[in-house]
């Protein structure tokens, strides 16, 4: 094992190691390693076998040191976005998306002026690292946007609702952008937004959140939040709106962060104090505040299913591997079958005609490389 504190000889600096060891040196998952290699941050050379690479040790150690220093110095500030923040925000948009998905200052500034509680963002100085934008709009307006009747960028500032009036609100989650090197900021931002909504309860309540996936990574995020497909009635037939989803916060949440939020507003409704850590249910950048004992039932500890004894050590069920790389299991299975990606299928004794699918460590590496090279995993997924 290499140690960046050691002084490397010229010979060792020129060494290349396989992907599994390179990922261990860097302290990241292999998919993130491939992301850095694609950006030419790490030199690589062809290895043995199909689509295998070896990675330069000196580059790995230099990048690891750089990332550690950046995290020590770069404690982000989480706050509501203002019009003066837009240059940094639009720069982040361009880094993560293509130009077709990026708006402009003249579109967003009036929205933020009308309602300063639209977008929660993480900043390092003037640099925007991540943000979540949710527009409070009348539900018919949201449905027009999701159904394609009108474009999101056509929304006028006078259509944006403020939170001055009590009652229920519906939100359009129009943008979630996270720097691919700071994926942990997603839940920090969600936690802070939910703290705000908890403060507003019960005078003001968020009833439903609508969203539309503009990319495969957006689709994956929606699936992780267990948002339900949105339907419309056409000639007495229920038809799904393409890539449109809804999360009804009045129903029991299927994810930890949503359940924690719902528990928090119940506590507040009962006249109990709510600490920020109880709102988000996750580590956040907020001060711990008053320590409150949570009445939530402790979740059962999940254990990963064991691989059959005849498989190599490190083999994983496909659904476990899919969860690790952040892709829907059904989507991954479809890719594996359609493009003949090598895997192991073992008949399921409990379900006739069905098989349990597994990936050996080598197959995991091949599948991950294929996903990255074919654009099935974007930088924000890694």
* pLDDT tens for each residue of the chain, 382 residues long: 444 444 445 545 568 888 888 888 888 877 778 778 877 778 888 877 656 788 889 888 888 888 777 666 567 899 999 999 999 998 888 887 755 456 678 889 999 999 999 999 999 888 899 999 999 999 999 999 998 888 888 899 999 999 988 999 999 998 888 887 787 788 888 888 988 999 899 899 999 999 987 655 566 667 767 888 888 777 778 888 888 899 998 888 777 778 888 888 888 888 766 555 444 444 333 333 322 223 233 333 444 455 565 778 888 888 888 877 777 777 888 888 888 888 888 876 655 666 788 888 888 888 888 888 887 764 444 4
DSSP state letter for 380: G
- Of 256, 280, 304, the domain-final residue: 280
pLDDT at 6: 47
* 163 and 220 co-located in one domain: yes
Structural domain includes residue 303:
no
Do residues 231 and 154 share a domain?
yes
Element (H, E) at 211: strand 204-212
Written as one string, the DSSP assignment of 328-377 is: -HHHHHHHHHHTT---EEEE-TTSTT-EEEEE-HHHHHHHHHHHHHTTSS
- Whether 88 maps to a domain, the answer reads yes
89 and 58 both lie in a single domain: no
Which three-class secondary structure state does DSSP give residue 128?
A: strand
Show which of 252, 280, 308 is a domain's final residue.
280
CA dihedral 63, 89, 149, 211 (to 10 degrees): 60
Q: In the block, which residue shows the tokens 């996903």?
A: 371
- 276: domain CATH number? 3.40.630.30
pLDDT given at position 284? 37
The whole-number pLDDT of residue 74 equals 61
- Pair 59, 94 in one domain: no
- Can you give the residue range of the structural domain that contains 347? 316-381
In a domain, 223, yes or no: yes
Question: Does 193 share its domain with 126?
Answer: yes
Calpha distance 272→294 (Å, rounded)? 11
Q: Does an H or E element contain 203, and which?
A: none
- Domain boundary, last residue among 44, 73, 102: 73
Q: Classify residue 4: in a domain, yes or no.
A: no
Instruction: Determine the Cα–Cα distance for residues 210 and 57; give it in Å rounded to an integer.
Output: 46
279 close to 193: Cβ distance less than 8 angstroms: no
Statement to judge: residues 133 and 253 lie in one domain: yes
15: left (phi over 0), alpha (psi -120 to 50) or beta: beta
- pLDDT attached to residue 292: 28
Q: What is the C-alpha separation between 22 and 30, in angstroms, rounded?
A: 8
Instruction: Give residue 26's pLDDT.
Output: 84
Say yes or no: 189 and 255 in one domain: yes
The structural domain count of the chain equals 3
- Give pairs for 38-45: CB < 8 Å, separation 24+: 38/372, 44/16, 45/16
Q: Is residue 308 part of a domain?
A: no
- Residue 178 · residue 380 · CB < 8 Å: yes
Task: Return the CATH number at 45.
Answer: 1.10.1660.10
Whole-angstrom distance, CA of residue 123 vs CA of residue 131:
9
Residues 64 and 82 in one domain: no
Provide the token pair at 211.
């969203």
Helix axes 185-200, 256-269, angle to 10 degrees: 20
Q: Are residues 111 and 224 in the same domain?
A: yes
Contact 257, 275 (CB under 8 A): no
User: Do 108 and 250 have their domain in common?
Assistant: yes
3-state class (DSSP) for residue 144: helix
Burial-class residue 230 by CB neighbours within 10 Å (0-12, 13-18, 19+): buried
Distance, CA of 90 to CA of 74 (rounded, Å): 20
288 assigned to some structural domain: no
Query: Phi and psi for 216 in degrees, rounded to 5?
Result: -65, -35
Taking a C-beta distance cutoff of 8 angstroms, is the pair 344, 360 a contact?
Answer: yes
Instruction: Evaluate whether residue 375 is within a structural domain.
Output: yes
Rg (CA), the chain: 23
CA distance 5 to 12: 14
H or E element at residue 206? strand 204-212
Beta-bridge partner residues of 173? 134, 211
pTM of model > 0.75: no
Residue 102: the pLDDT is: 60
Examine residue 259 and state whether it is found in any structural domain, yes or no: yes
Question: Are 216 and 254 contained in the same domain?
Answer: yes
Same domain for 249 and 113, yes or no, is yes
């Amino acid at each position: 094992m290499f140690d960046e504190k050691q002084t490397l000889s010229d010979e060792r600096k020129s060494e290349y190691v396989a992907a599994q060891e390179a990922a261990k040196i860097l302290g990241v998952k292999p998919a993130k390693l491939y992301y850095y290699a694609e950006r030419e941050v790490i030199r690589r050379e062809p290895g043995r076998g199909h689509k295998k690479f070896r990675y330069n040790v000196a580059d790995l150690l230099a990048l690891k040191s750089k990332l550690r220093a950046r995290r020590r110095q770069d404690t982000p500030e989480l706050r509501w976005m203002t019009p003066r923040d837009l240059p940094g925000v639009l720069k982040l948009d361009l880094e993560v998306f293509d130009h077709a998905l990026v708006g402009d200052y003249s579109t967003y500034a009036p929205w933020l002026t009308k309602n300063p509680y639209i977008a929660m963002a993480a900043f390092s100085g003037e640099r925007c690292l991540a943000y979540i934008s949710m527009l409070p709009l009348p539900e018919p307006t949201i449905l027009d946007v999701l159904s394609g009747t009108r474009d999101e960028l056509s929304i006028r500032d006078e259509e944006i609702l403020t939170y001055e009036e009590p009652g229920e609100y519906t939100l359009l989650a129009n943008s979630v952008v996270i720097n691919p090197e700071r994926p942990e900021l997603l839940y920090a931002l969600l936690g802070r937004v939910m703290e705000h909504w908890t403060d507003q309860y019960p005078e003001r309540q968020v009833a439903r959140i609508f969203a539309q996936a503009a990319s495969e990574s957006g689709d994956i995020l929606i699936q992780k939040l267990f948002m339900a497909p949105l339907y419309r009635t056409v000639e007495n037939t229920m038809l799904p709106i393409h890539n449109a989803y809804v999360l009804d916060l009045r129903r029991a949440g299927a994810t930890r962060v949503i359940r924690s939020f719902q528990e928090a507003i119940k506590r507040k409704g009962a006249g109990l104090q709510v600490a920020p850590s109880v709102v988000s249910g996750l580590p956040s950048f907020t001060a711990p505040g008053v320590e409150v004992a949570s009445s939530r039932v402790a979740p059962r500890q999940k254990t990963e299913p064991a691989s059959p004894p005849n498989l190599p050590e490190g083999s994983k069920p496909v659904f476990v591997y899919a969860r690790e790389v952040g892709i829907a299991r059904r989507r991954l299975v479809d890719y594996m079958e359609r493009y003949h990606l090598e895997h192991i299928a073992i008949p399921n004794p409990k379900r006739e005609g069905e098989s349990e699918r597994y990936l050996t460590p080598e197959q995991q590496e091949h599948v991950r490389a294929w996903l990255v090279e074919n654009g099935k995993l974007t930088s924000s997924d890694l």
